[in-house]
A and B are shown apart, each in its own frame.
Chain A
Amino acid sequence: MSNSTSIAMRPAKTPSGQLNILCKKLFSMKNLRGLISCVVFVALWQMVIVFDIPYLKNLPFPHDVAANAASSAVTLEYWMHWALSLFRIFVGFIIAQLLGVPLGLAMGISKTFKEFSFPAFEILRPIPPIAWIPLAILFWPTRELSIYFLVFIGAFYIQVINSMQGVQNISVNLKWAAFSLGAKPKDIFWRILLPGSLPSIITGMTVGMGVAWNVLIAAEMIAAKGGLGRTTWESYTNHNIPFIVVGMVSIGLAGSLCSVLVRWVGKKAMPWTKKF
C-alpha cells in the first residue's frame, strides 16, 4: 500500500472523519437546493395567509398544522386510521393480484381464451373505478366489503392487461429455444413465461397501487367508518382545518410507503435486472 492511499483513507476511519463525511453528504448541493425549495414553499404558504389572498385565507398556518400533527401522532386513534386504510389496501390489492395475474397470463397464453374473455373485459375496463361506488355499496352486504371491492377494481384491470402483455411480449425465439432444449409445457410456463412476464407484472402492481389509493380515499370519504380518507373528510365537517392538511400528508406518506414496498418486492423478485 503506498503512503498516499493510506493518508487518503485515514479521515474515514476516525470518528471525526466519519462525521466529516456525514456532514458532506448531508449538506450536499443537492440537499441544500431541496431544502431551499421546501423553505420557499412554507414561506409562500405563510404569506398567502398573512396577506389575506382571496379564497385562500381559510388555510391553516403551517405551525398550526405542525402542532396538530405532533399532537395527533401520539394518539392511538390516528394510528388506527392508518391501520384501517393500510388493511383495506392490502386486502383489495392482494385479491386483485391473485385473480388478475392468472387471468392476464391465461389471456396472454391462450388465443382462444382471450377471444372468449377479452371483449367483455374491454367493456368494463374503461369505467373509472370510482364510478363503481354506488353499485358496490348497493350489492355488498357491508361497507367494509364494498371498500375492499373498490380497491380491488382499482388494481385488477391494470394487472390483467399488464400480465397479458407481459406474456405476449416474450420473444418467440426464447420459447423456441426452450422447446428445442427439451422443455415441456410446464417448463415453458414456470421457467419462461412466468419470469419473462414478471417485469410487466411488477409494473402492473406499481401502477395498480397508485390507482388503489385513489379509489380507497374516495370510497372512504363517502362510505367508510374510519380510515385516513374518512378522518380527513370528518375534520372538514368538524371544521378542524389543520387536521385536513395532516390527513392529506398522511395519505401521501401511506401511498408512497406502499409504492416503496412494491418496488422492493420487484427488486427481490427480479435479481437479473440489477446491472452489477
Chain B
Amino acid sequence: MSHSPSAGGKHSVGDFGEARLEGVSMIYEQEGEEKLVALEGLDFTVEKGKVTVLMGPTGCGKTVLINLIAGYEQPTTGRVFLDGKPVQEPGCDRLVVFQESALFPWMTVHSNVTFGCQVQGMAEREINEKAKAILKKVGLYEFQDKYPSQLSGGMQRRAELARALINDPKIMLMDEPFRGLDAMTRQLMQEFFVQLYEEEGRTNLFVTHEIDEAIFLADRLAIMTFQPGKIKAILEVDLPRPRQFKVMATPEFMKIRSHALDLLYEESSKALAAGQKSAFDLVGALASSKDSCQVPQ
C-alpha cells in the first residue's frame, strides 16, 4: 500500500526507511541501584512507507526504542538496522521530533530550519531556496526571522517538522510530538500530519499516549508490554485514506479502538501494580477520548 506519487520507475521517499530491531535488549545499570530492563528480546520492524504508531504504558521503553533507531543509544544486546544497514550513530536519514521542543532557542526559525543544511556545507543559495519552500509548506514563511520563544506551541512543532523535513529523512521518529498542545491546536496538527503523510508517503514511527490520535494517524498500531518492553501486539489499521476526522465516528474505528484499549488496559494494570502512574494516564486518555468521540459527526 502506497500513497506516494511514485513516478515511473523512480524511487519515492516511501521506498526507504525500514527500521528493524533484532533481539534488542536495553538494560540500564547504575551503581547502588536495581538494574532496569527497559527492553528485552525485542523484535520489531517499522515498515517502509507507513505510519507505525507505538503505544504502551509510561516507562515501557518507547522513547528508548526511538533513541536506538536514532542512534543516540546503543542496545545492550541485539542489533538495529535501517534499510538493512546497521545503525551506529545519529544521522540525518533518521530525524527525531522530540517530546519537548528541541528547537535551538538562540536561532531564528530560518536558522533552525536550515541548521542541517548549514552544517552539511550546502551552498547558501540552495539553502535559502529549500528553506523558502519548506517554510511555505508548514506556513511559517512570514515568521522565519522570529525566535522560537516568540512562536506559539503549534508553530514551534511545525518549525521542528520543517527542520527535519528539509533534510529529506528516510524515516521520521516522532516522540509524542503533540504533547502539551491545547486540544484545538493538537487536532490541527494531527490533520496537518495526516495531510503531509498522504502527500509524501514518508516512513513514520510515531509515539503517543492518545488512543484516538494513534488510530487516526496509524497504518499499524504497535502496543508494547510493560517492563521489560516487548511488542505485545500489532494491529493493522486499514481505515481508508485520505483520512478525515469524521473517521473517528465510524464503527471500524470504534472496533479497533476497543480492541486496542483492552490490550493497553492489561499492560497499564501491570504498570499500576508496579507503582507507575501510567494507569492513571490511561484513565485520562479514556476520559478525554469520550469527549472527542462526540465531536465528529
Residues on A close to B: CB < 8 A? 171, 173-174, 176-184, 187, 191-192, 195-196, 198, 270-273, 275-276
Q: Is the CB of A183 within 8 A of B119?
A: yes
Residues on B close to A: CB < 8 A? 70-72, 89-92, 94-96, 98, 100, 102, 104-107, 115-116, 119-120, 147-150, 163, 167
Q: Is the contact region of chain A dominated by helix, strand, or loop, or is it mixed?
A: helix
Q: Is the CB of A180 within 8 A of B106?
A: no
From residue B168, how far is it (CB to closest CB) to chain A in Å?
12
Q: Is the CB of B98 within 8 A of A181?
A: no
From residue B17, how far is it (CB to closest CB) to chain A in Å?
14
Given contacts A187-B119, A270-B106, contact A180 B70 (CB under 8 A): yes
Q: Is the CB of B149 within 8 A of A177?
A: no
For B89, the chain A residues whose CB sits under 8 A away are 179
For B107, the chain A residues whose CB sits under 8 A away are 191, 195, 272
Q: B115 — nearest CB in chain A belongs to which residue?
A: A181
From residue A179, how far is it (CB to closest CB) to chain B in Å?
4
Which residue, of A181, A187, A273, has the highest number of chain B Cβ atoms within 10 A?
A181
Q: Is the CB of A182 within 8 A of B119?
A: yes
- 13 additional contacts, CB 8 Å, given A182-B116, A191-B119, A272-B147? A171-B100, A176-B96, A176-B102, A178-B104, A178-B119, A180-B91, A180-B95, A181-B119, A183-B115, A196-B106, A270-B106, A273-B149, A275-B150
Given contacts A181-B95, A187-B119, A191-B119, contact A176 B90 (CB under 8 A): yes
Q: Is the CB of B104 within 8 A of A275?
A: no
From residue A270, how far is it (CB to closest CB) to chain B in Å?
7
State A177–B94 Cα separation when bound (angstroms): 11
State A181–B167 Cα separation when bound (angstroms): 8
The residue that B104 contacts in the complex, of A176, A192, A270, A271, with Cβ under 8 A, is: A192
Q: List 9 A-B contacts (CB under 8 A).
A: A171-B102, A178-B115, A180-B95, A192-B104, A196-B104, A198-B106, A272-B105, A272-B106, A275-B149
Q: Is the CB of A180 within 8 A of B115?
A: no
Q: Is the CB of A181 within 8 A of B163?
A: yes
State A179–B105 Cα separation when bound (angstroms): 16
